[in-house]
Amino acid sequence: MLDLRDKRIRQISLPLEDVYMLEADCPLTAEKIKEISMKGHSRIPIFSTDRSNLIGMLLAKKLIGYNPNDKIMTAREFPMSPLPFVKGDTSCYDVLNLFQEGRSKANFNVKLLNFSLITS
């Protein structure tokens, strides 16, 4: 049985370079919306200039009703959720409690800049 108190978030985190994310000024064209849809993620980290400069998380459901044929917007122009950052030595149990409180379903490991995502 997995003991979440002993397992650290850095042990299960996805390296930042492997995370699908968007640059804040990326135009959300019809092609980009299709790409996002094909990825199947409900939450997409948004960065500014550098992938380690995370500024928020775009909920894919915010794109429902968006028509890039009317006006192409950038990722920055959509409402973003804040990103909770945790230290790599935080226990998985503590992060699970954070999720259960409804505060987040994703977290970023500050020291290693790794990413963990739980989608519903």
Q: Of all residues in the chain, what percent are helix, strand and coil, respectively (each to 5)?
A: 30, 25, 50
Q: How confident is the model at residue 71 (pLDDT cuts 50, 70, 90)?
A: very high
**Domains of the chain with CATH codes:** 9-117 (3.10.580.10)
Q: How far is CA 61 from CA 69, 99, 104, in A?
A: 18, 19, 16
The mean of the pLDDT values for the chain is 81
For residues 114 and 55, what is the distance between their CA atoms, to the nearest angstrom? 15
Amino acid at 27: P
pTM over 0.85: no
